[in-house]
Amino acid sequence: MNRGFTWFNGVSLVLGFGFLYLPILLLIVYSFNESKLVTVWAGFSTKWYGALLENQGLLDAAWVTFRVAFVSSTVATILGLVAGLMLSRFGAFRGRVLFSGMIYAPLVMPEVITGLSLLLMFVAISFDRGFVTVTIAHITFSMCYVAVVVQSRLISFDRSIEEAAMDLGCPPGRTFLLITLPVIMPAIVSGWLLSFTLSLDDLVIASFTTGPGATTLPMKIYSQVRLGVTPEINAVSTILVGIVAVGVVIASVLAKRDEARRAQDERLAAAAP
């Protein structure tokens, strides 16, 4: 047994994980409750998952949410890739400090401030709020996460591979597409999955920037919970938890594979004469 592991550490670990995940576990368990009362267990049943197919309001909100998440994460990945390239490859260009501040600011800025500022901007330019404004808002903050992930991967990238390809006559653009892009692809995919998850989870910013016909699933759930929790809410929340968990696991696996590949490349480079 590890001498650094004490009973205090064990109890703290159990309490910490229990505080974080026990409520989620209870939500998942009660989504299979036969009873309509969410606090009274009356037997195992999956009927509330079937009832979701008859709840048109939740289905419409889910469709809007997944469309916003897909579009915003795709655009954010492209913009974040460009931003990561600028921060890691363009050196000390004029305005770098301001550009870096604009990239990192949304990561630490409260969501209320971000949502309110975007709302004021859309009102100032008389832009009707709806699907487009929610998508733009999600792109605004999610692209920053992609930029950070891509930049961290490019910093540790061995540029001698690119130099060798260009020495052999490969143009810079083709070198990026054939050499650099495949190597950093796990980071790009991880950034996309992270953006997709953040968009699915967002409530505050979407509440400020939404409009008629653009109610997202978190907003729909929140509005119904205020009137009382129903088993259908538990069921749809369980589905969201499952989707987010799958995304996190895939991103973690890709990150570990990328790290293992980098370690192997370093060992091969060290062993080379």
pLDDT (0 to 100) of residue 73: 94
Per residue in 50-102, pLDDT (tens digit) is 877 787 888 888 889 999 999 999 999 999 999 988 888 777 778 888 888 88
- Higher-pLDDT residue of 81, 256: 81
| DSSP label at residue 213 | T
The stretch 117-133 carries a mean pLDDT of 90
The C-alpha atoms of residue 218 and residue 56 are separated, in whole angstroms, by 15
- Per-residue pLDDT band for 1 (boundaries 50, 70, 90) equals very low
Domain boundaries defined on the chain: 57-262
The C-alpha atoms of residue 68 and residue 197 are separated, in whole angstroms, by 11
pLDDT (0 to 100) of residue 271: 62
Phi first, then psi, for residue 2 (nearest 5°) are -65, 125
CATH architecture under which domain 57-262 falls: Orthogonal Bundle (1.10)
pLDDT (0 to 100) of residue 211: 83
> 131-155 vs 111-124: helix axis angle to the nearest 10?
130
- Higher-pLDDT residue of 149, 271: 149
- Per-residue pLDDT band for 272 (boundaries 50, 70, 90) equals low
pLDDT (0 to 100) of residue 71: 95
The stretch 248-257 carries a mean pLDDT of 76
Where do we find the tokens 């080379």?
272
> 185 near 77, Cβ under 8 Å?
no
Whether the predicted pLDDT of 19 surpasses 90: no
Taking CA 36 as the corner, what is the angle to CA 33 and CA 38, rounded to the nearest 5 degrees?
Answer: 65
Phi first, then psi, for residue 157 (nearest 5°) are -75, 135
The stretch 193-207 carries a mean pLDDT of 88
Per residue in 157-198, pLDDT (tens digit) is 777 887 888 887 888 888 888 888 888 888 888 889 889 888
Its pTM stands at 0.78
- Per-residue pLDDT band for 273 (boundaries 50, 70, 90) equals low
The stretch 135-152 carries a mean pLDDT of 90
The stretch 146-164 carries a mean pLDDT of 83
Q: Across all residues in the chain, what is the average pLDDT?
A: 82
The C-alpha atoms of residue 36 and residue 59 are separated, in whole angstroms, by 20
- Per-residue pLDDT band for 8 (boundaries 50, 70, 90) equals confident
Whether the predicted pLDDT of 5 surpasses 70: no
pLDDT (0 to 100) of residue 269: 57
Q: Which of 26-30, 71-75, 169-173, 215-219 has the highest mean pLDDT?
A: 71-75
pLDDT (0 to 100) of residue 237: 81
